[in-house]
Amino acid sequence: MKLQRNGRTKALAIGAMALVGSLSLSACGSDDNNTASSQSSGGSAAPAAQIACAGKGQLLAAGSTAQGDAIDVWKNAYGSACSGTTITYGGGGSGAGVQQFNQGKISFAGSDSALKPAEVDASKAVCKSGQGIDLPMVAGLISIVYNVDGVDNLVLDGPTLAKIFDSQITKWNDPEIAKLNPDAKLPDADIQAFHRSEDSGTTDNLTKYLSKAGGGAWSYPSGKTWAGKGGQSANGSAGVAAQVKQVKNSIGYVELAYAKNNNLKSALINTGASKPVAATAENAANTFAKAKITGTGSDLALNLDYATKDEGSYPMVMVTYEIVCDKGNKADTLDALKSFLTYTISDNGQQAIGAKGYVPLPKELAAKVQAVIPTLA
């Protein structure tokens, strides 16, 4: 997720971390702007999330479907604690979210790709005294989900995936797939590949991986708009997951949360390490450990190594950014925006989405985001 801007690239040294345990949150109602305590439900002993409520009214947002489950967790906890504020998230994909943000229709956008220079320039019309910036908020991974009877531990690699999604490999028992899976009983069946129909940050991140690790098999530039040949399209991460679940001998790409929620199998990825890497939060965390910040000033856009060959490092990782103005945010929702984002980047906010298949942001990176939020104006 490299943002092409001038500025010195800063290395972010982050220790690899294990996936946090499950934490379920619901909140006690509060009609004032004092700190509210969000108590755990179901009688569990989960720690309370301290949410400092501020502002009133409706906070509108839209964009990435990858963070949909995370937003649901956060807005339910925040809405219960801060009953004077309603969080409405429209989804629609990263491209639509950035477009609506730059049209001044929403207070923040969710995008799985950092703003491009042209999008930053366009944001200046809305952020009257500033510009749009990228705040990493939801970390996760792209799972290659499949539905092939009798195949439980499918192994794929960059070149094979590039050829599958570009209709260069069309049969499950193709020699290239069989070579990676010598013990599997691969059917002599047509592959039905699904991709996103709308502009998608998930597509952007997948195609960055295919470009970096595809061995030249992916001949298209990476981007939010699908460019591969053949296949069928579906709307949103939920749509792709639903199609793969329903259609035999199919394959697609979704965030790990959607793979988990739909009980879909995730392929292991042969990266060139000593053994294939599973699509787990722990393995994604190993890749985030080497993330670099490429944004300047308050912008915290990241560059991730999609071609990693490190042991136990899953290559198809992604970060969803919340796109906000550094200056020139909507005055009537600024306090609520800062309050909500302060909660989502807190330890409790990050831990709360771990059970949904997301990867809590490394503490050093989270601290950088926490430092930016109070400066929003």
First to last CA, the chain: 26
pLDDT score of 357? 82
- 37 pLDDT more than 70: no
- 298 pLDDT more than 90: yes
Q: Mean per-residue pLDDT for 14-21? A: 33
pLDDT score of 49? 53
Model confidence band, residue 290 (pLDDT cutoffs 50, 70, 90): confident
Share of the chain above pLDDT 70, in %: 87
Q: Mean per-residue pLDDT for 59-80? A: 94
- 40 pLDDT more than 50: no
pLDDT score of 25? 27
> How many CA atoms, within 13 angstroms, populate the side-chain half-sphere of residue 352?
31
Look at residues 291, 287, 345 and name the one whose alpha carbon lies nearest to residue 137.
345
Q: Mean per-residue pLDDT for 164-168? A: 98
Query: 191 and 171 in contact (C-beta within 8 Å)?
Result: yes
Mean pLDDT, rounded, of the chain: 87
Q: Mean per-residue pLDDT for 29-58? A: 51
CA distance 228 to 147: 21
Instruction: Tell me the residue ranges of DSSP E strands in 249-346.
Output: 250-255, 265-266, 268-270, 292-293, 302-303, 317-325
Q: Mean per-residue pLDDT for 263-283? A: 96
- 86 pLDDT more than 50: yes
**Of the ranges 7-21, 293-307, 322-336, which one carries the lowest mean pLDDT score?**
7-21
Domains and CATH numbers, the chain: 10-139+320-375 (3.40.190.10), 142-284 (3.40.190.10)
- 225 pLDDT more than 50: yes
Q: Mean per-residue pLDDT for 242-271? A: 96
Model confidence band, residue 171 (pLDDT cutoffs 50, 70, 90): very high
User: Is the pTM above the cut of 0.85?
Assistant: no
CA distance 136 to 324: 11
Look at residues 365, 353, 346, 370 and name the one whose alpha carbon lies nearest to residue 49.
346
pLDDT score of 354? 87
pLDDT score of 337? 97
- 7 pLDDT more than 70: no
Q: Over the stretch 104-159, which tens digit does the pLDDT of each residue have?
A: 999 999 999 999 999 999 999 999 999 999 999 999 999 999 999 999 999 999 99
